[in-house]
């Protein structure tokens, strides 16, 4: 693995001081446990800190990558150049807007399962589906995460973003270009989600809990527990990527340390020591087999980032 030179001068490292970690391996920061180092990594715990880090990096001409929980990412083996900001901003507040409705304001680094669980237990319904989605609110909005027939866009009202010019703006849902596992943020890479507001509705805590438990039980039955990034490919229209991969005989296929899960064919699992190159090779093998057998071109649901 190449140890990259740092071409940006000392100003950013000096400004971030002891907060910045140099050549930080990213594998432990992803659920796949794969990936080379970030040139610099800093953890942001408040929105002020997050905004300050982005502004400093931009001021000194250093590329910025905002990392949520790393649960939808394959980081290539050469890692990510520039500054990686790991988002831990997780303040949450709830305003009741009537007997049956509330507005939930959440910072973008809050973990989705924790948020869903906390409010469902208090009888605020709307995010129960997200119990098993191990990402942050920000990452979920970027990819319009969803499960069990629901998605993050359903209850979302408005987000606040730091835009490319460094200005904080409020964007209503109508401007977020949500689609199947996509949003405007897939295109507008220099906009950073800071906060989001959701509408929740009153229900019995026991009913919310029962839904969450049923979803969790379904996941335990159908999804592997080894290190993964969830679904590797999007479902093609009218079909399931997992069904196509399974029918193409690819369950259990392996390259190096990565394997197509024998339990769920759309999950690739890290059996230990997998590299990003192993995963990229297995992706191409699976795609070719599905293309040859069914004439379907599978599209990645995960995002591949960084350098070889
Ligand atoms: C076991 C397992 C089960 C899963 N099940 C599901 C499922 O049922 N449904 C589903 O949709 N997904 C699922 N996923 C995938 C994943 O959890 C979601 O895509 C999740 O929303 C990703 O969030 P994250 O914080 O981990 O984002 P990351 O992987 O850290 O980042 C993803 C992208 O979002 C960007 N990003 C993150 N935060 C911000 C921000 N604040 N502002 C701007 N850009 C940002 C990153 O730069 C990157 O481009 C699963 C994953 C695993 C491992």
Q: What angle do CA 24, 29, 30 make, to 5 degrees?
A: 135
- Do 204 and 293 share a structural domain? no
41 touches ligand 1 (CB under 6 Å): no
Residue 163 lies in a domain: yes
136 C-alpha to center of ligand 1: Å? 7
Nearest residue (CA) to ligand 1, atom 43:
192
Nearest ligand 1 atom to alpha carbon 141: 21
Residue 274 lies in a domain: yes
Residue 227 lies in a domain: no
What's 140's domain CATH number? 3.30.465.10
147 touches ligand 1 (CB under 6 Å): yes
Average pLDDT over residues 128-138: 97
- Do 138 and 53 share a structural domain? no
Task: Write down the pLDDT at residue 99.
Answer: 85
What's 252's domain CATH number? 3.90.78.10
- Do 201 and 108 share a structural domain? yes
- Do 83 and 17 share a structural domain? yes
- Do 144 and 177 share a structural domain? yes
**219/32 Cα distance (integer angstroms):** 18
- Do 70 and 178 share a structural domain? no
- Do 96 and 181 share a structural domain? yes
Residue 70 lies in a domain: yes
* Residue 119 Cα to chain centre, angstroms: 21
- Do 64 and 96 share a structural domain? no
Annotated catalytic residues are 181, 231, 301
Nearest residue (CA) to ligand 1, atom 32:
139
135 touches ligand 1 (CB under 6 Å): yes
Sole residue written with tokens 């910045």: 20
35 touches ligand 1 (CB under 6 Å): no
137 C-alpha to center of ligand 1: Å? 8
- Do 173 and 152 share a structural domain? yes
- Do 72 and 18 share a structural domain? yes
87 C-alpha to center of ligand 1: Å? 12
69 touches ligand 1 (CB under 6 Å): yes
Which domain, by its residues, includes 155? 92-222
Domain count, the chain: 3
Residue 153 lies in a domain: yes
pLDDT (tens digit, 9 = 90+) per residue, 146-195?
999 999 999 999 999 999 999 999 999 999 999 999 999 999 999 999 99
Residue 140 lies in a domain: yes
Boundary of a domain, candidates 87, 114, 137: 87
pLDDT (tens digit, 9 = 90+) per residue, 279-292?
999 999 999 999 99
Contacts of residue 95, defined as CB under 8 A and 6 or more positions apart, other chains included, come to 102, 103, 105
Boundary of a domain, candidates 28, 61, 87: 87
The pTM assigned to this predicted structure is: 0.97
pLDDT (tens digit, 9 = 90+) per residue, 201-260?
999 999 999 999 999 999 999 999 999 999 999 999 999 999 999 999 999 999 999 999
252 C-alpha to center of ligand 1: Å? 25
Within 10 angstroms of residue 160's Cβ, the number of other Cβ atoms is 18
Boundary of a domain, candidates 222, 257, 278: 222
What's 29's domain CATH number? 3.30.43.10
142 touches ligand 1 (CB under 6 Å): yes
Residue 5 lies in a domain: no
Lowest mean pLDDT, pick from 2-11, 59-68, 85-94 = 2-11
- Do 134 and 170 share a structural domain? yes
Residue 236 lies in a domain: no
- Do 113 and 209 share a structural domain? yes
229 C-alpha to center of ligand 1: Å? 9
């Amino acid at each position: 693995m190449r140890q990259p030179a740092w071409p940006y001068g000392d100003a950013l490292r000096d400004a971030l001081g002891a907060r910045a970690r140099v050549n930080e391996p990213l594998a432990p920061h992803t659920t796949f446990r794969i990936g080379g180092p970030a040139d610099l990594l800093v953890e942001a715990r408040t929105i002020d800190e997050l905004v300050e880090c982005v502004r400093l990096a931009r001021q000194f001409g250093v590329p910025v990558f905002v990392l949520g929980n790393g649960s939808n990412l394959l980081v290539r083996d050469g890692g990510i150049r520039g500054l990686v900001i790991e988002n831990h901003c997780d303040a949450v507040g709830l305003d009741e807007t009537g007997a049956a409705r509330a507005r939930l304001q959440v910072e973008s680094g809050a973990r989705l399962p924790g948020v869903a669980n906390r409010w469902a237990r208090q009888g605020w319904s709307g995010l129960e589906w997200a119990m098993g989605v191990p990402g942050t609110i920000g990452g979920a909005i970027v990819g319009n995460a969803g499960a069990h027939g629901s998605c993050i866009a359903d209850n979302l009202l408005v987000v606040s973003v730091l835009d490319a010019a460094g200005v904080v703006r409020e964007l209503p849902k109508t401007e977020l270009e949500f689609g199947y596992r996509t949003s405007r943020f897939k295109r507008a890479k220099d906009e950073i989600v800071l906060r989001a507001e959701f509408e929740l509705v009153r229900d019995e805590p026991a009913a919310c809990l029962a839904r969450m438990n049923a979803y969790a039980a379904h996941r335990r039955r159908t999804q592997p527990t080894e290190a993964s990034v969830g679904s590797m490919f999007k479902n093609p229209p009218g079909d399931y990527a997992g069904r196509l991969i399974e029918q193409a005989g690819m369950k259990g296929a392996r390259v190096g340390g990565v394997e197509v899960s024998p339990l769920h064919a759309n999950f690739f699992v890290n059996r230990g020591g997998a590299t990003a190159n192993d995963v990229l090779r297995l992706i191409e093998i699976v795609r070719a087999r599905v293309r040859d057998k069914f004439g379907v071109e599978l599209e990645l649901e995960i995002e591949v980032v960084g350098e070889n």
